Amino acid sequence: MTKTTTLYVGNLSFYTTEEQLYELFSKAGEIKRIIMGLSRNTKTPCGFCFVEYYTHENALECMKYVNGTKLDERIIRTDLDPGFKEGRQFGRGRSGGQVRDEYRQEYDEARGGWGHMRAKQEEERKRQQEESYEAIATVPAGAELQINSRLGPASPSHGGSY
């Protein structure tokens, strides 16, 4: 780690662009490349990246000044990284994204909404609700007559029948 030129950057918004990252991180020195972290399944950004500088000193400078700053309303974290290897740009969670997002319970618009666990709970609730309402989707025979008889004759203010 005493010679590494790569930084791991975490807690990014899913909507942060490479251009925004270049603008912020280039203040600490010339950037060799930025590798966006991607969801393994959807190939969309999932909240982290690697920033590779040409020198170790620039990487240290960046950690010193950029760590803990806000980008897209999120406080970002930076740490020295041993170096990027192909395949590390993909999230490690079961959902293909960040492991941390799978356990998040609160709503976070910048990280795609609800955490993975909460999203599963919400899907299950909707499924159960749909099953419950499917059972009463059709009006039983004769029920329509009972409803009309309770309403009585059409009132003139309603302009006719129901």
DSSP track, 93-119 = STTSS-HHHHS--S-BGGGTBS-HHHH
Higher local confidence (pLDDT), 136 or 20: 20
pLDDT at 71: 93
Q: Is residue 21 part of a domain?
A: yes
pLDDT at 33 over 90: yes
How many domains does the structure of the chain reveal? Answer: 1
Do the beta carbons of residue 42 and residue 57 sit within 8 Å? no
Higher local confidence (pLDDT), 41 or 36: 36
Higher local confidence (pLDDT), 11 or 162: 11
Q: In a 3-state reduction of DSSP, which class is residue 76?
A: coil
Q: Is residue 63 part of a domain?
A: yes
pLDDT at 145: 62
pLDDT at 42: 80
Residue of 122, 110, 123 lying closest to 46 (CA atoms): 110
pLDDT tens by residue, 89-124:
665 454 444 545 555 556 666 555 555 555 566 677
pLDDT at 101: 53
Arithmetic mean of pLDDT, 121-144: 69
Range of the domain at 30: 6-87
Specify the CATH number for the domain of residue 83: 3.30.70.330
